[in-house]
Structure 1
Amino acid sequence: MIKLIAVDMDGTLLNSARELPAENILALQRAAQAGVKIVLCTGRPKSGVQPYFNKLELTEEEYVIMNNGCSVYNTKEWDLIDYSALSYRELEILEQAVLDCPDVCLTLTGERTYYALGKKVPELVQADAELVFTTARAASLDQVRSDSEIIFQAMYMAEKAQLDRFQKIRETELGQLFSAVRSQNDIFEAMPKGVTKGKALQALSNQLGFNAGEVMAIGDAANDLEMLKFAGVSVAMANASQQVKEHSRYLTVSNDEAGVARAIDKYVFS
């Protein structure tokens, strides 16, 4: 019996227009009313999650795993109940890795601020910030440090060809020190070592008293792999990468066909 549903957002819960389909809302409400815990599990920061969560109109306390597992919030008071942070020394290492790649911007996700390291915010970075309903702030690493803000994760951002080159050069080095993943064509992410959506989901499930067999996870991208491997019922979207499909037990329809609702109907209630 499924007691917890972990759902990725972009490419999964949201359609290609980044809208929340009514079918998905109704399916999650139905599951919550049946006593199933709903956990949004996303790379997004809080600013990019709350507006969508509010549309779900769930009445019980639920949980959200954000920043690819770096932060966990409850939804009653939106308290930060668990987190992993990058140290200042780690931020220095991340900055050093990109100094000879001027076309790649290192961004940092703080508890309150979306930072772009440098003197100005590239258009691509600002466009990404707008998708999560915030504004990126240009800053030096010293300015970030003086703000004394929790920094959950880092993202290297550039056009695909430029980021491909950066990843080829730096992935091995960064992978030894951080949890690194290419989540989108224009985003290569770095979290504290060992931090993933899967680790955060496992910890939260244990806290709530659920085992892996009672957890269903739904996702589409590389940063969903660890949570899909953990869950007893793993579901890949039809629009998922081939790697995600190979590591999932089941397949649903695409995010433009309300694949989350179809998966809930089939694997929770059937």
Structure 2
Amino acid sequence: MIKLIAIDMDGTLLDSKKQVPEENIKALRQAADQDVKIVICTGRPKSGVVPIFEQLGLETKEEYAILDNGCTIYKANDWSLLAYESLSSGDIDCLAESAETYPEISVTYFDSDHYYILGEEVPDLVSYDAGLVFTTPTPTTLEHLKNSSVPIFQGMFMGDASALDRFQAEQEERLSQVFSTVRSQSCIYEAMPKGTTKASALAKLTEKLGLESKEIMAIGDAANDIEMLQFAGISVAMGNAGEAVKAICNHVTTSHDEAGVARAIEQLVLKK
């Protein structure tokens, strides 16, 4: 019996216009009314999740959110931070040093309330991405980040696809020895504290809730969902997912533009 649904956001819960289809909202509410836990699992920071979660109408339920690609676990009814993994001062330095000879690559960092960019200028790509998560980038220095009194959860390299291809090819072997890394989008390469993924956070949360992996259904579409999908007893790939994601899943639903989340919940949870 499914007792918890772990759901990615971009490319999964959200359609190609970054909206939540009404069918998805209806299905999630019906599942929650049957005491199934709803857990948003995304690479987005808190600023990019709170407005979307409010649309789901689940604020009276005890739901959770795994954000920053597994670095943070929040209780979604009051957005209290339950657990987190953070970058050390050395990690922050290491990420910056990796991009020193790549002027076309931007280095960004996240805490619970800020989308930081290293340097004085904010490229259009960074501004656009920050806008998608309902915030604005804050230019910063290494000294500020390393001396911050609040934890820095993860770092992110941004650039056009060809520039990021070269950066990844030349730096991934070194970075993956120190961090958990993932190319989540063609223009985004992410670095989290070593061992941190959506799956590692989901494992912590399910243990807290007294659940087993066989009672978990996960739905996703991208590379940063793979560990989460492998952890869950029932894994569902979106119709718009890549073949590598579909290959590891038990089920394939329709695309994010066809309310694939609702279709999966109806079939596997609500048994319609």
The TM-score range, normalised by the shorter chain, is over 0.9
3-state SS, counterpart of residue 164 of structure 2: helix
3-state SS, counterpart of residue 15 of structure 1: coil
- 1:242 offset after TM fit, Å? 1.1
Superimposed CA distance per residue, residues 114-150 of structure 1 (whole angstroms, 9 cap, x where no aligned partner): 1000111111001000100000011111122344231
- 1:46 offset after TM fit, Å? 0.5
- 1:160 offset after TM fit, Å? 0.3
Superimposed CA distance per residue, residues 32-60 of structure 1 (whole angstroms, 9 cap, x where no aligned partner): 00000000000001100000000000121
3-state SS, counterpart of residue 25 of structure 1: helix
Q: How does 1:21-36 map to 2 (within 5 A)?
A: 21-36=21-36
Structure 2 equivalent of residue 44 of structure 1: 44
- 1:163 offset after TM fit, Å? 0.3
Report runs of 4+ in structure 1 exceeding 6 Å deviation: none
Superimposed CA distance per residue, residues 151-201 of structure 1 (whole angstroms, 9 cap, x where no aligned partner): 111000000000000000001110010000000000000000000001111
Q: Does residue 105 of structure 1 match 2:106?
A: yes
Structure 1 equivalent of residue 136 of structure 2: 135
* 1:121 partner letter: V
Structure 1 equivalent of residue 19 of structure 2: 19
Maintained 8 Å contact 1:216/1:235: yes
Structure 1 equivalent of residue 269 of structure 2: 268
- Taking the aligned partners of 1:26 and 1:76, their CA distance within structure 2 comes to 19
Unaligned runs of 5+ in 1: none
Q: Does residue 203 of structure 1 match 2:204?
A: yes
- 1:110 offset after TM fit, Å? 1.2
3-state SS, counterpart of residue 151 of structure 1: coil
- Count, aligned residues: 270
* 1:231 partner letter: A
3-state SS, counterpart of residue 269 of structure 1: coil
3-state SS, counterpart of residue 10 of structure 1: helix
Maintained 8 Å contact 1:112/1:149: no
Unaligned runs of 5+ in 2: none
- Taking the aligned partners of 2:247 and 2:153, their CA distance within structure 1 comes to 29
Q: How does 1:188-199 map to 2 (within 5 A)?
A: 188-199=189-200
- Taking the aligned partners of 2:147 and 2:121, their CA distance within structure 1 comes to 19
Superimposed CA distance per residue, residues 238-260 of structure 1 (whole angstroms, 9 cap, x where no aligned partner): 10011111111110000000000
Structure 1 equivalent of residue 188 of structure 2: 187
- TM-score, normalising length from structure 1? 0.99
- Taking the aligned partners of 1:225 and 1:37, their CA distance within structure 2 comes to 20
- Taking the aligned partners of 2:252 and 2:123, their CA distance within structure 1 comes to 37
Identity of paired residues, percent?
53
- TM-score, normalising length from structure 2? 0.98
Q: How does 1:31-180 map to 2 (within 5 A)?
A: 31-58=31-58, 59-180=60-181
* 1:157 partner letter: M
Structure 2 equivalent of residue 255 of structure 1: 256
Maintained 8 Å contact 2:92/2:146: no
Q: Does residue 243 of structure 1 match 2:244?
A: yes
- Taking the aligned partners of 2:77 and 2:16, their CA distance within structure 1 comes to 29
